[in-house]
């Protein structure tokens, strides 16, 4: 708690990110109280401008944009979190295993890893989307993104571990009688955890971006409200030409804000947790 307060006070990026993201979270929470279900159309008159009743107006399907936006935000975020969770588990498992075991296991895992890296993601996703067709759900999408999003980070974790293995303090720990597992948990984790956190935030950002891109192309679960699908429908209905700014701008602005705030958080948190700045803080604390 104290560190959050400290960060808020001193790092404008963290403050910005924290505030904006909290706002997004608030909107997500609100979405559970939405009086209108996601899929229903024609609740209101179409294409109404913002008013007291519809804070952001209505779209061409007769849905209230404000509530739709909260649901979209919620779904996009949940999808990204799901994808990130899946890919983290795989990336950590592969990276740590390959790094610590080395030898043949390392080579096999890394070959697998590299195969995943070079897979051209877009064509594959388009292929999967067209194969799944109507059965695409947000859940499937999250799974797919998770399965394809781990390769870069696995290599990152592995290289961090390879370097940690050779650091003299690892030898010191061993010479002090510590068991290998203890060494990994106590000596190496303080270095790896910040890396994992930063990589996770980046992964979330990537997943949101991918979802939006896929949705705009129509390759997503179009009946669900996500930031991407809102943009899709808005473009399908020619919102720009019809001067329905409130409809097209809402998801775009929300996406930008969400991504920007997450990015700011990611940058400032990873700088805070970076071992080098932590050491600097310890040094200056003594003066």
CB of 75 to other proteins, least distance (A): 35
Q: Which is nearer to other proteins, 14 or 233 (CB)?
A: 14
Q: Which is nearer to other proteins, 122 or 169 (CB)?
A: 169
Token reading at 87: 């890919």
Q: Which is nearer to other proteins, 35 or 287 (CB)?
A: 287
Residues 75/226, Cβ–Cβ less than 8 Å: yes
Sign of CA dihedral 78, 222, 229, 213: positive
- Where on the chain is the footprint of other proteins (CB under 8 A)? 6-7, 10-11, 167-169, 171-179, 186-187, 190-191, 272, 275, 277-284, 286-287
Q: Which is nearer to other proteins, 111 or 135 (CB)?
A: 111
269 CB contacts (<8 Å, ≥6 apart)? 14, 197, 198, 201
Q: Which is nearer to other proteins, 101 or 281 (CB)?
A: 281
CB of 201 to other proteins, least distance (A): 19
CB of 276 to other proteins, least distance (A): 9
The 10 Å Cβ neighbour count of residue 48 is 18
Determine which helix (DSSP H) or strand (DSSP E) holds 31, and give its type and residue range. helix 12-31
Residues 242/259, Cβ–Cβ less than 8 Å: no
CB of 103 to other proteins, least distance (A): 13
CB of 257 to other proteins, least distance (A): 24
Coil, strand or helix: which one is 178? coil
Determine which helix (DSSP H) or strand (DSSP E) holds 230, and give its type and residue range. helix 227-236
CB of 96 to other proteins, least distance (A): 18
Residue whose token pair is 């295993």: 97
CB of 20 to other proteins, least distance (A): 20
Q: Which is nearer to other proteins, 118 or 175 (CB)?
A: 175
Q: Which is nearer to other proteins, 38 or 106 (CB)?
A: 106
Coil, strand or helix: which one is 39? coil
Token reading at 29: 């929470």
CB of 183 to other proteins, least distance (A): 10
CA distance between the termini of the chain: 25
Q: Which is nearer to other proteins, 118 or 181 (CB)?
A: 181
**What are the helix and strand counts (H, E) for the chain?**
13, 0
CB-based burial label for 106 (10 Å; 0-12, 13-18, 19+): middle
Sign of CA dihedral 150, 153, 155, 159: negative
């Amino acid at each position: 708690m104290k560190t959050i307060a400290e960060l808020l006070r001193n790092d404008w990026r963290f403050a910005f990110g924290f505030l904006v993201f909290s706002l997004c979270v608030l909107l997500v929470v609100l979405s559970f109280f939405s009086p209108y279900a996601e899929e229903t159309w024609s609740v209101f008159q179409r294409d109404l401008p913002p008013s007291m009743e519809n804070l952001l107006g209505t779209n061409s399907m007769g849905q209230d944009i404000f509530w739709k936006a909260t649901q979209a935000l919620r779904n996009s975020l949940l999808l990204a979190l799901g994808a990130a969770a899946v890919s983290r588990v795989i990336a950590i498992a592969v990276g740590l295993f390959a790094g610590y075991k080395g030898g043949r296991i390392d080579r096999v895992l890394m070959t697998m890893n590299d195969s995943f890296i070079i897979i051209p993601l877009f064509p594959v996703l388009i292929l999967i989307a067209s194969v799944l067709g109507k059965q695409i759900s947000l859940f499937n999408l999250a799974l797919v993104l998770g399965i394809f999003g781990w390769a870069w980070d696995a290599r990152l974790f592995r290289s961090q571990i390879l370097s940690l293995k050779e650091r003299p303090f690892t030898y010191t720990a061993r010479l002090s009688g510590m068991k290998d597992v203890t060494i990994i948990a106590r000596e190496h984790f303080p270095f790896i955890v910040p890396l994992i956190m930063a990589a996770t935030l980046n992964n979330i950002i990537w997943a949101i971006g991918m979802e939006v891109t896929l949705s705009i192309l129509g390759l997503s679960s179009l009946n669900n409200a996500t930031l991407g699908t809102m943009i899709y429908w808005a473009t399908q209905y020619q919102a720009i030409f019809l001067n329905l700014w409130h409809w097209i701008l809402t998801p775009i602005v929300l996406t930008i804000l969400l991504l920007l705030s997450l990015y700011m958080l990611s940058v400032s948190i990873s700088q805070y947790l970076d071992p080098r700045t932590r050491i600097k803080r310890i040094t200056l604390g003594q003066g």
